[in-house]
């Protein structure tokens, strides 16, 4: 028995959500009375995974793992699990994680639950909580198979850094070559990816036009936040599609979500409603978003956003 | 080119979610059901592709007879024929097993990125692995070139272009295309198109929902006067300690 965690890295550093997954895996292993094995591929990060709860760290050095392919990555994790009697898998639900988890579940003949937001209940039935109905509900799901693949939503679990350092074992697993070819990759540089952001500043049709987005970007930059937008804003191409949050866009769960000039339609809330602190700025006191907010300002975004920016700069001394 | 398009039937996006039977069952009464929005996209793209390269589009749904109106809509949009596996979908693994069973004769399987009720994002990967076919997940563009698929897909913080041989499984993300709306002629023709109902193979019973709950409600909004908007930043900094 062992809990296997996939430690994903990008740009030579482990993803924050992978470190969350390792702490999650460690807490789960403690409940199950077993230990954790973290598996990394391709590049490694500078962090020591033991700090976050890995008891063993295996790094796979096969050439075939230098770029992402769901099949080779899932194969590698599956092979290592077989060699080390792993039976519970913890994967962070990044884009890559989403592709790996189902393949792994079939390979391992395991029960699969995605969208998990909390630690598993292990006394009696093995049960996890997952989002359902586009974040409008939470389902308690019982996993009845012996093996289990758990996919955890980023920013759902708090990282603990009180583990002891471990050494990294390098291994070649001999994974088959990829069954898809990457032709090209395009990444936004210098921007905080929305899916990983802890702070998000977002705006909607109330901002009136693309030319006014500097107010949103300036505030986001000062805060160290990512920017997001409502669906009509990306439909009208005021903002790139990658910023569209909601039921048909990205689902995010940041610690702070500031929404200016967004009405708060149910489809928008479906993507942002589980943010920890929600602040709403809207000229209309009846805007539905206020009902889902922690803090609200009835006012004109064109006046309020610059005032917020000024204050952030004062507070941060920038 | 034979494309199999997986279509799930989900509550309309404005549905207020409630439960019955001690919060163990989703309350379907009064709920309007629609075609999963991502499946509308993958179906539209499958139709566009076969219209240029030739071939057929078959729609498959795992569901009971009450999903037939949505399957008819898919036929009205232009699908050639449809398969309904007559079963109540238990979970992703169960649904995928039914699809994999039917998919072997096809060149491509299209799904949505996720269904907006279960939000699993599972079925595409499960089907791909059950069939031992490549997977292209969350595709924003799909083209066919020399009997290969070239697709653009979302990755964390960007996009990548990937190529795959056929057969393979592809899931649709928004931006793929504009969903097609059935016209009168399509609706008329759909009535006589084949909808084959087949029995389910009973595989996999690995998960079950024991209970539903609604997310914790916000304790109420604290209003700040626009004249003192700066206060918000002070609260976020000093009390919430968010930055
Ligand atoms: C199937 C389906 C899926 C959908 N998916 C999504 C989704 O994923 N994400 C999404 O966002 N939407 C989605 N929508 C659309 C959604 O229903 C709303 O139409 C949309 O969210 C509204 O965007 P908005 O709030 O920016 O614009 P509006 O509804 O036009 O609201 C603008 C708001 O700005 C306020 N305002 C105006 N001027 C100012 C000012 N100067 N200062 C401050 N406030 C001002 C107004 O009072 C108003 O509340 C979906 C709809 C459907 C049918
Ligand atoms: N009951 C179903 N019948 C047919 N296809 C389905 C069904 N459930 C899910 N799918 C397909 O699988 C995709 C992902 O669904 P899910 O894994 O449930 O989020 C959907 O977009 C559909 O294309």
pLDDT (0 to 100) of residue A11: 83
Which of B3, B6, B79 maximizes ligand 2 atoms within 8 Å of its Cβ, making it the mutation to test the pocket? B6
pLDDT, chain A, mean: 95
pLDDT, chain B, mean: 95
CB atoms within 10 A of CB B232: 22
CA torsion B4-A105-A140-B39 (nearest 10°) is -20
Supply angle C-alpha B178, B183, B186, rounded to 5: 110
Q: How far away is chain B from the Cα of A263, in angstroms, using its nearest Cα?
A: 15
Contacts of A202 by beta carbon, 8 Å cutoff, 6+ apart: A216, A227, A228, A229, A230, A243, A245, A257, A258, A259, A260, A262, A272
Q: List pLDDT tens digits, range A111-120.
A: 999 999 999 9
CATH of the domain at B193: 3.40.50.620
Residue B232 lies in a domain: no
Residue B221 lies in a domain: no
The domain total for chain B is 1
Q: List pLDDT tens digits, range A297-314.
A: 999 999 999 999 999 999
Token look-up 């097609």 returns: B180
CATH class of A2-171: alpha beta
pLDDT at B225 > cutoff 90 = yes
- Asked if the Cβ–Cβ distance from B233 to A193 is below 8 Å, we say no
Residue B151 lies in a domain: yes
Q: List pLDDT tens digits, range B121-178.
A: 999 999 999 999 999 999 999 999 999 999 999 988 789 999 999 999 999 998 899 9
Euclidean distance between CA atoms A131 and B121, whole angstroms: 12
pLDDT (0 to 100) of residue A192: 79
- A232 alpha carbon – ligand 1 mean position (Å): 7
B202 versus B142: the higher-pLDDT residue is: B142
- Which residue's CA lies nearest to atom 9 of ligand 2? B8
pLDDT at B86 > cutoff 80 = yes
Structure tokens at A263: 């009405």
pLDDT (0 to 100) of residue A265: 96
Euclidean distance between CA atoms A60 and A149, whole angstroms: 20
* Threshold 0.90, pTM exceeds: yes
Q: How confident is the model at residue A293 (pLDDT cuts 50, 70, 90)?
A: very high
Q: How confident is the model at residue A166 (pLDDT cuts 50, 70, 90)?
A: very high
Euclidean distance between CA atoms B140 and B153, whole angstroms: 6
Query: Nearest Cβ partner of A180 from B96, B138, B163?
Result: B163
- Which residue's CA lies nearest to atom 49 of ligand 1? A263
Q: Are A57 and A166 in contact (CB under 8 A)?
A: yes
Highest mean pLDDT among A174-178, B175-179, B217-221, B231-235: B231-235
DSSP state, B229? T
Which of A215, A268, A275 maximizes ligand 1 atoms within 8 Å of its Cβ, making it the mutation to test the pocket? A268
Q: List pLDDT tens digits, range A59-110.
A: 999 988 988 999 999 999 999 999 999 999 999 999 999 999 999 999 999 9
Preceding amide of B167 cis, omega within 30: yes
Q: Considering chain B, what percentage of its residues have pLDDT values greater than 70?
A: 100
Residue B75 lies in a domain: yes
CA torsion A146-A117-B8-B152 (nearest 10°) is -100
Cα distances (Å, whole numbers) of residue A108 to A79, A155, A218, B119: 10, 27, 48, 22
- Asked if the Cβ–Cβ distance from B221 to A101 is below 8 Å, we say no
Residue B115 lies in a domain: yes
Tell which A residues from 242 to 261 touch B, by Cβ distance under 8 Å: 242, 244, 247-249, 255-256
pLDDT (0 to 100) of residue B119: 85
pLDDT (0 to 100) of residue B140: 95
Our measurement of the distance from residue B170's CA atom to the centroid of its chain's CA atoms, rounded to an integer in Å, reads 11
Q: What is the mean pLDDT of residues B57-62?
A: 98
Our measurement of the distance from residue A33's CA atom to the centroid of its chain's CA atoms, rounded to an integer in Å, reads 27
Which residues of chain A does CATH 3.40.50.620 include? 2-171
Q: Per the CATH hierarchy, to which homologous superfamily does domain A199-316 belong?
A: TPP-binding domain (3.40.50.1220)
- Asked if the Cβ–Cβ distance from A308 to B174 is below 8 Å, we say no
Q: List pLDDT tens digits, range B99-115.
A: 999 999 999 999 999 99
Contacts of B217 by beta carbon, 8 Å cutoff, 6+ apart: none
pLDDT (0 to 100) of residue B56: 98
Q: What is the mean pLDDT of residues B36-50?
A: 97
Contacts of A63 by beta carbon, 8 Å cutoff, 6+ apart: none
Residue B79 lies in a domain: yes
CB atoms within 10 A of CB A51: 18
Q: How confident is the model at residue A288 (pLDDT cuts 50, 70, 90)?
A: very high
Q: How confident is the model at residue A53 (pLDDT cuts 50, 70, 90)?
A: very high
Helix (H) or strand (E) holding A151: strand A148-152
Residue B72 lies in a domain: yes
Domain limits for position B186:
2-212
* A278 phi/psi in degrees, rounded to 5: -115, 125
Cα-trace Rg, chain B = 21
Euclidean distance between CA atoms A79 and A107, whole angstroms: 9
Residue B238 lies in a domain: no
Q: Does residue B39's CB lie within 6 angstroms of at least one atom of ligand 2?
A: yes
pLDDT (0 to 100) of residue B77: 98
Minimum mean pLDDT among A39-43, B20-24, B202-206, B229-233: which range? B202-206
pLDDT at A190 > cutoff 80 = no
């Amino acid at each position: 028995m062992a809990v296997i965690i996939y430690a994903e890295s990008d740009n030579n550093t482990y993803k924050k959500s992978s470190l969350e997954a390792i702490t999650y895996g460690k807490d789960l292993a403690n409940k199950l009375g077993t230990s954790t094995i973290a598996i990394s591929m391709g590049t490694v990060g500078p962090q020591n995974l033991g700090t976050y709860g890995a008891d063993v760290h295996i790094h796979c050095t096969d050439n075939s793992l230098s770029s992402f392919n769901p099949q080779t990555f899932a194969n590698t994790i599956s092979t290592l699990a077989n060699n080390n009697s792993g039976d519970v898998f913890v994967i962070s639900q990044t884009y890559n994680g989403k592709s790996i988890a189902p393949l792994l579940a079939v390979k391992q003949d395991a029960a699969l639950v995605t969208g998990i937001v909390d630690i598993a209940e292990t006394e009696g039935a093995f049960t996890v909580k997952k989002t359902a109905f586009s974040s409008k509900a939470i389902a308690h799901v019982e996993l009845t198979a012996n093996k289990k693949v758990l996919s955890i939503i980023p920013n759902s679990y708090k990282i603990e850094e009180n583990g002891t350092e471990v050494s990294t074992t390098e291994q070649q697993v001999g994974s088959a070559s990829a069954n898809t070819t990457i032709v090209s990759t395009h990444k936004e540089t210098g921007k905080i990816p929305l899916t990983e952001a802890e702070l998000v500043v977002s705006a909607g049709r109330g901002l009136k036009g693309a030319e006014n987005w500097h107010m949103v970007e300036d505030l986001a930059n000062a805060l160290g936040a990512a920017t997001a937008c409502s669906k009509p804003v990306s439909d009208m191409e005021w903002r790139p599609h990658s910023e569209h949050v909601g039921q048909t866009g990205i689902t995010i769960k940041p610690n702070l979500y500031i929404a200016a000039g967004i009405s708060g339609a149910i489809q928008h809330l479906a993507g942002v409603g589980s943010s920890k602190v929600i602040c709403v700025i809207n000229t209309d006191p009846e805007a539905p978003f206020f009902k889902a907010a922690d803090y609200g300002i009835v006012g004109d975004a064109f006046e309020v956003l610059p005032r917020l920016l000024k204050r952030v700069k004062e507070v941060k001394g920038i | 080119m034979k494309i199999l398009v997986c279509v799930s039937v989900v509550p309309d996006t404005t549905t207020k979610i409630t439960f019955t039977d001690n919060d163990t069952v989703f309350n379907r009464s009064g709920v309007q059901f629609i075609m999963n929005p991502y499946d509308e996209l993958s179906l539209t793209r499958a139709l566009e592709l076969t219209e240029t390269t030739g071939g057929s589009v078959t729609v498959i749904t795992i569901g009971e007879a009450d999903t037939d109106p949505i399957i008819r809509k898919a036929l009205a949009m232009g699908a050639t024929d449809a398969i309904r596996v007559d079963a109540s979908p238990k979970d992703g693994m169960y649904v995928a097993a039914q699809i994999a069973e039917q998919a072997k004769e096809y060149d491509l399987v299209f799904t949505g990125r996720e269904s907006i009720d279960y939000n699993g994002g599972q079925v595409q990967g499960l089907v791909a692995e059950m069939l031992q076919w490549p997977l292209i997940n969350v595709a924003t563009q799909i083209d066919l070139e020399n009997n290969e698929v070239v697709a653009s897909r979302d990755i964390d913080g960007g996009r990548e272009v990937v190529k795959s041989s056929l057969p393979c499984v592809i899931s649709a993300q928004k931006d793929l295309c504009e969903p097609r709306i059935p016209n009168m002629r399509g609706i008329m023709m759909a009535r006589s198109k084949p909808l084959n109902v087949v029995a389910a193979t009973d595989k996999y019973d690995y998960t079950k929902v024991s209970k539903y709950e609604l997310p914790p409600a916000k304790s109420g909004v604290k209003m700040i006067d626009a004249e003192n908007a700066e206060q918000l930043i002070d609260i976020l900094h000093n009390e919430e300690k968010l930055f």
